[in-house]
A and B are shown apart, each in its own frame.
Chain A
């Protein structure tokens, strides 16, 4: 009965850990010193949330938090592939940060009614920190979207690159049906993905950003005109269609080529000193 709980928590924790690690790669390199501090702080928050999820897993299974974070083989991670993509440039990292934090807000809102007491308490605590992440991401998006053409163009390309991967944050968890039956998860991933797609399309429309999803969108998706006349993706007729693209599969342990170098780097200290306590 706890298998499905561990499955869900592992996916959530791995998302936060892997994205937190990618964010942290900007430390010392962000566009300016203030943002360097702000983005590093967001990275720390995400890794802190991962630690909190892992400690629930550890309390259920009797495992060890450090081992869960750093002692697994690449194929044992269950993060969405979006989280492990290389940073590329600031536009991509910003687009990913923005997409991820809106997805996370939707996800946490959905988890508020979970039957697991410890998880429910954690969700409420995390939502307070995630509020700042959203304000930060939205503030950046607004400025770059309304700024000079070069930044705007880079941002549009970055959203195009990250969008499909972001919808895969709502690829169903392993054992999701059981997790719903047990009450660990309240809202099915397919429904959350529909909410996410709606929310993102709405904000992009407000920002006046055209969507060029057709580059990598799945064939089942159709395009509808937004109020600004731009084309936006709709998630199929009933939103149940799971788009098949290379950003999917993360929840089943499929890893992209980018993951290897990240894993090497992230776990090197842990592997160099087996059994050390930190």
Chain B
């Protein structure tokens, strides 16, 4: 069962029900997970329609890929200032 908590929010997995078919699952999910205004929309998806990765280790990052992270570029302005200063020094300005 995927629930949306507000108009602009993403659907998020929020529980599961056992039901004979999608219509029944929607009816049951409504009662089981929307009793206290928890959201404004609802999806149900059969477990068998969800495809999952067979090998989770594929998600591990083996080598250093720090360049893929924004945080790795935090000091780029400072680096640029240092490089410009060095360039001026070499040119004897």
Residues of A within 8 A of B (CB): 32-35, 37-38, 41, 132, 135-136, 139, 143
Contact = CB atoms under 8 A, between A and B. Distances in A.
B24 interface: yes
A198 B23 CA distance: 27
Given A34-B19, A41-B31, 13 more contacts: A33-B18, A34-B17, A35-B28, A37-B28, A37-B32, A38-B28, A38-B31, A38-B32, A132-B30, A135-B27, A136-B27, A139-B23, A143-B24
B31 A32 contact: no
B88 interface: no
A38 B27 contact: yes
Contacts of A34: 17-19, 28, 31-32
B20 interface: yes
Contacts of A135: 27
Contacts of B19: 34
Contacts of B18: 32-34
A136 B31 CA distance: 10
A139 B19 CA distance: 12
A241 B88 CA distance: 108
Nearest to A41: B31
B35 interface: yes
A167 B19 CA distance: 32
